[in-house]
Amino acid sequence: MTIVDVITIDGPTASGKGTVAHKVADALAFHLLDSGALYRLVALASVRVDIDVQDVEALAKLAASLDVKFGPDRVWLAGEEVSLAIRAEAIGNRASALAVHQPVRDALTRLQRDFRKLPGLVADGRDMGTVIFPDAGLKVFLTASAEARARRRYKQLIDKGISANIEDLLRDLEARDARDRTRAAAPLRPAEDARLLDTSDMTVEQAVAQVLAWHAETRA
């Protein structure tokens, strides 16, 4: 059986993992999995059909039937482009809240693993190295201070024309971090064999270069 090369990049919200994953995938011509987008898609879809965030059975059923398509920096839900809609802070907070439910995570597991195709995959999320691809050849755990991440999130939202308040963003990030770390289902934590990368004082280019260097080591 052909072994597909997988790089997992996990970390908390706004640690830079999405941007780094995109650039690493581009550099290696690998496929990309933005697992966080899947949870945001479930969150958005659940709002649109009025499913409560505690209705686990309905959420799991919705996740299992998700009609999603990914393109370069674009995401479609049931044929509608929702790239911007899923990045709203309210949707991100809802995604974090519904991600604590194991049946929802189970429903999305197969969908995520189906992204593993030649020539390789870069998977970014919170449990890529611990749950979804535990046999990945390279596992990276990105982190950064809450303050640095709040500044990044603020810039991202402002650049997209979305109004934001940095103090509110910091509180939301800290609350989301606590929820992600303490949830019973796949809590946010580095895999035992993950490489730790603190990006608080790093540029995107420096972080990408480090991940590519680590990947080269695994292929040597």
Segment 19-75, tens digit of pLDDT? 999 999 999 999 999 998 999 999 999 999 999 999 999 999 999 999 888 776 789
The whole-angstrom separation of Cα 116 and Cα 105 is 18
Report the C-alpha gap between 179 and 62 in whole angstroms. 22
pLDDT per position as a tens digit, 182-212: 888 788 899 999 999 999 999 999 999 999 9
Enumerate the domain spans of the chain.
5-144
Question: Three-state SS for 97?
Answer: helix
Superfamily of domain 5-144 in the CATH hierarchy: P-loop containing nucleotide triphosphate hydrolases (3.40.50.300)
- Buried (b) or exposed (e) across 170-195, using 16+ Cβ within 10 A? bebbeebbebbeebeebebebbeebb
DSSP state of 184: S
Give the pTM.
Answer: 0.85
Residues 66-111: tens digit of each pLDDT: 988 877 678 999 999 999 999 888 998 899 899 889 999 999 998 8
Could you tell me which residues are annotated as the binding site for ATP? 11-19
The radius of gyration computed from the CA coordinates of the chain, to the nearest angstrom, equals: 16
**What is the residue-averaged pLDDT of the chain?**
91
Share of the chain above pLDDT 70, in %: 99
Q: Which residues are annotated as a binding site?
A: 11-19
**The pLDDT of residue 1 is above 60:** no
